[in-house]
Chain A
């Protein structure tokens, strides 16, 4: 045990003192924030340039009120100038494009004959906006033609909001579902990221010991299994520290940013707001409140313990595989062929989690993958917020622990032989042979 402690400590300090680790720890949250800020900034920049669209209405069906200008698009009536002149104007000037509404009596035919000329191909948003204007106007004209009262149609629309309840009378809602998806997804993704980043780090550390040839000195003092375990735990400790620092930095950044955004949004609200928008906004705020309420209703304590369990077991299982791969090869370029079988279940777990579990948390696929040990850490974490029977969780945990023990045992066998093997890149057959060596 004393030696294991020594090894863990060395692995931890070697990792933490590493320059790239320090840089990554403090820089990547900054980079992330900077990236987000940059994206927001660029999007704003992009949107803030107003596109001026000139329209020539030969149909005489549209009025100026139909062409509601938005923040990014401004419509100008050039019907009097005629299409040819307007086109020329756009070609020479800075206007974005020309919308031509030809004179056709049939509304259906007219809808198919509207033309838009522009220098650049317009973006999706612009096209949607233009089409929306045409559709709304022509639609309401069509209704008039057919003698349908538009007001009646509008008032006949009903929006349903189905209340979700389970049999213990607990109220649920779509927001609750969203909260569950969010919590599960974050937990699952976090686990996957951690496994990949720190599993690779374990693998590198093993390869380093092999290439620097210190390995034989070390294994003459400690059991290879101790060394492998020490490495896995030491790297995990360094990783947790990094996550912890990231968490704190992100929290600080979040508070800072929300202060700024808070001022910003206050400014936004003070602008003229139509009653309709206000209602919409209240709806959104209401939703947010519901979301928070739903969030708080999640079984956090059990989720927390479950997260710790699956996190540790999942990480240990995968990182022992990473360690075995590191031991089997002489350099990092040779690891590719062995990485596939590790990455596959991880990717599968995240995809199953992201698509299947969210659609149907208790379907057969979800159930299978939340029990299958290579995917269960991620899938069960994503599934758990939707309510999973305790015995299911228990079975999944037992399966995971059994597999974990089995895999660590196999990996340590490969590791033990591999660390002393140099030269040719091993095949899967070689690995199998190593597993069967005794002593």
Chain B
């Protein structure tokens, strides 16, 4: 079983509106899986189905080799985008309550909470009410509540919203550590830089359809254009540019550099290699910049969405 979660041909509609149209996804065990998509694409609908908050109209969800069933609730930790806690309840009481709802015994829950509270250095908050905490503090409590029952599958919907950069990094570190300890993580976000940092796999949902999925590396390879960003200090720039255009697709580029000279994006035609371009350039002048333009998750996201619509 290499996939912890398999979603097969899931359809969900609300009245006339189709929120998910025949969506299939495979989430490999022990991966960080980025679920990407514009607002209203159907991400939350999908996450709610995995959490058994709603049921799909058709299709099936397989968790750890079994068809999704009520007892799987204990295997899943979910941090929704719209999150909150009981305002007038004490932090400790509340965490205990939520842990018990996830199937932990009271003593076990206490033990684990103690561990997490010490880890985050927030033991002093145990008897405080949530309304006395700042938003960031409450988010920490919420994170603990999500992960403390050691779920096999963790679902984070925009986990970094509401955190300052320092705490966001702390949370990111914790998420990666949880993955290293064996958890599988689904990560729904718009923040593309965090996708680059953390995700091993991604799936892109747009207008209720999955339009792209796979290993992030593979997808990037698919979307690469063999384009190189070049900075060249030549004695005769106009002539060099003319000659380049005969062999390659040349576009002007804009990047910051301390050197003067030509700034170009050069695309190698099919069959060509980077070495051919490089030897051409070294003959033509002083090369001070030579980088392959690897598509960012953001580029892929925008391209895929535009192509789809």
Chain A residues engaging chain B, CB cutoff 8 angstroms = 3, 6-7, 10, 14, 18, 208-209, 212-214, 216-223, 420, 422, 433, 436-439
Contacts and interface: CB of A to CB of B under 8 A. Distances in A.
A221 B102 contact: yes
Interface stretch (B86-94, B118-126, B178-186, B240-248): B86-94
A216 B87 CA distance: 15
A79 to B, nearest CB: 75
Interface string B72-105: 0100101010111111110000000110111000
Contact of A439 (B55, B97, B102): B55
Given A216-B82, A217-B98, A437-B14, A14 B89 contact: yes
A217 B78 contact: yes
B57 interface: yes
Interface of B: 12, 14-15, 48, 51-57, 70, 73, 76, 78, 80, 82-89, 97-98, 100-102, 142, 145-146
Given A10-B97, A433-B15, A216 B80 contact: yes
Contacts of A433: 15
B83 A213 contact: yes
B229 to A, nearest CB: 44
Given A14-B89, A221-B73, A438-B55, A214 B84 contact: yes
A218 B98 CA distance: 8
A42 B50 CA distance: 67
A436 B146 CA distance: 32
A214 B89 CA distance: 12
A85 B82 CA distance: 85
A222 B84 CA distance: 16
B72 to A, nearest CB: 11
B101 A6 contact: yes
Contact of B83 (A10, A217, A219, A222): A217
Nearest to A18: B88
Contact of B56 (A6, A209, A439): A439
A429 to B, nearest CB: 11
A221 B15 contact: no
Contacts, number: 71
Given A6-B97, A222-B73, 4 more contacts: A3-B101, A18-B88, A217-B146, A220-B80
A6 B83 CA distance: 21
Please provide the 7 A-B residue pairs with the shortest distance between their CB atoms, ordered closest to farther: A439-B55, A213-B84, A221-B101, A216-B80, A212-B84, A220-B51, A220-B78
Contact of A217 (B14, B52, B80, B100): B80
A217 B145 contact: yes
A10 B90 CA distance: 12
Contacts of B48: 420
B264 to A, nearest CB: 50
A10 B87 CA distance: 14
Nearest to A221: B101
Contact of B57 (A3, A6, A420, A439): A439
Contact of A213 (B54, B76, B82, B102): B82
Contacts of B88: 14, 18
A14 B53 contact: no
Contacts of B146: 217
Contact of B86 (A7, A214, A219, A438): A214
A9 to B, nearest CB: 9
Contacts of B142: 217
A439 B88 CA distance: 32
Contacts of A213: 80, 82-84
A214 B101 contact: no
A217 B85 CA distance: 9
B103 to A, nearest CB: 8
A439 B70 CA distance: 14
Contacts of B73: 220-222
B20 to A, nearest CB: 12
Nearest to A419: B53
Contacts of B100: 6
From A7, A14, A209, A214, residue with most partner B Cβ within 10 Å: A214
B61 to A, nearest CB: 12
B15 A437 contact: yes
B55 A212 contact: no
Nearest to B73: A221
Contacts of A437: 14-15
A216 B51 CA distance: 10
A14 to B, nearest CB: 7
A214 B85 contact: yes
B69 to A, nearest CB: 13
A285 to B, nearest CB: 54
A313 to B, nearest CB: 28
Nearest to B50: A220
A420 B87 contact: no
Contacts of A216: 53, 78, 80, 82-83
A8 to B, nearest CB: 12
Contacts of A420: 48, 53
A422 B142 CA distance: 21
Contacts of A214: 83-86
A209 B94 CA distance: 13
B255 to A, nearest CB: 43
Nearest to A212: B84
Contacts of A10: 97
Of the listed residues A216, A219, A422, the one surrounded by the most CB atoms of chain B closer than 10 A to its CB is A216
A212 B130 CA distance: 11
A220 B85 contact: no
A220 B101 CA distance: 10
A37 to B, nearest CB: 35
A90 B83 CA distance: 77
Contacts of A221: 73, 98, 101-102
Given A10-B97, A212-B87, A220 B53 contact: yes
